[in-house]
């Protein structure tokens, strides 16, 4: 199984989630660690001058999120951003 790192930006949003949101995002993170090379985990790709990141949507009732992540090395995933979508 992959190791996990979490950016301060991700953690700031994560810590503000309610219980339902936490359960939903935790389940998505567990699945990502097991299936990081699956198509659903790489649904989107963003690139800028600093590099790139993969993204996938997460739904918790009426609230949606997008998880942005990337590999820091062959054994570690980093959760970069957790953005709330309407």
**C-alpha–C-alpha distance, residues 50 and 36, integer Å:** 22
| pLDDT score, position 76 | 95
**C-alpha–C-alpha distance, residues 37 and 39, integer Å:** 7
Measured CA distances, 46 to 1, 20, 52, 70, 77 (Å)? 25, 28, 5, 10, 16
Mind listing the domains of the chain with CATH numbers? Answer: 3-85 (3.30.2310.20)
- pLDDT tens digits, residue range 3-20? 999 999 999 999 999 999
Helix (H, G, I), strand (E, B) or coil at 10: helix
Looking at the whole model, is its pTM more than 0.85? yes
């Amino acid at each position: 199984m992959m190791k996990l790192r979490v950016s301060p930006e991700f953690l700031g949003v994560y810590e503000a989630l309610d219980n339902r949101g936490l359960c939903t995002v935790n389940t998505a993170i567990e699945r990502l660690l097991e299936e990081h090379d699956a198509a659903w985990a790489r649904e989107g790709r963003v690139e800028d001058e600093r590099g790139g990141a993969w993204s996938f949507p997460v739904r918790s009732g009426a609230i949606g999120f997008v998880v942005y992540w990337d590999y820091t090395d062959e054994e570690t995933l980093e959760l970069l951003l957790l953005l709330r979508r309407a």
